[in-house]
Each structure stands twice: as C-alpha cells, then as structure tokens.
Structure 1
Amino acid sequence: MEDGDMVAVHGRYTNWFGKSMIAVDYFHVVDCKFIEHWDVMQEEVPANQVVNGNTMFPIK
C-alpha cells in the first residue's frame, strides 16, 4: 500500500527465532530514501487453532 510518502508491506517471516511471524512494515520514504521504519509483528497462529479455520496469511 502506498499513500504519498508512506508505504506499507504485509508479509510472513519464517524461522524468525524459530517461529513464523505475520508483520506489517511501514516506511516513510523521501527522495527515494527510507527515512523512518516501523513494524507490527505477531506470531502466526495455525488455522487448526482458530475458531473460523482461516489462515492468518493465505498463500494462493
């Protein structure tokens, strides 16, 4: 996602200290340079452990 000088990327990181993590990384970009970075991460919960049975990061 991009909005002006802000960019967000949703991703899945495997083997992050032995765990799979779902994350959103936010970047503030000025003149094609990363000025700031923030992220939000959560350990991935397997589909068989959630009530609705959906995966957190579906791969199609």
Structure 2
Amino acid sequence: MTAATLDFPTTNKPAKVTGSRLALHHPSHAGTVSLRAELTDRDGNTLIESIEHAYAITE
C-alpha cells in the first residue's frame, strides 16, 4: 500500500502507483503532504516507510 496524508498521522489516503510513478490528488488548500509506503516481498519480508511533511503545497 502507498498512501499520502495532509494531516499526519490522522488520515492516510491510498495513492495509485504505476511502475515507478505515484499519482496523488491534492486539495485546494495549502499544507504539507506526508507519504507512507508498505511493501512486502514474495518471502513475506515487510518494509514500512514514512516521510513526515515530505513537501508543502502552497495556494
């Protein structure tokens, strides 16, 4: 799962990943975006990575 949130850590909204591209839909108001990815390989090994306040949106 890949997700983005505008009110970290309250709400994670799924983000679409296609190949190496991530598609996000941003709201019209300013704020910061945090990202979270959960990856699992074929052997069941899991990685969870979060980047708090990854970038800012301005009006």
TM-score range, shorter chain: 0.3 to 0.5
- Structure number with greater CO (CA < 8 Å, separation at least 6) is 2
Q: Which TM-score applies when normalising by structure 2?
A: 0.36
TM-score (norm 1): 0.35
Larger radius of gyration: 1
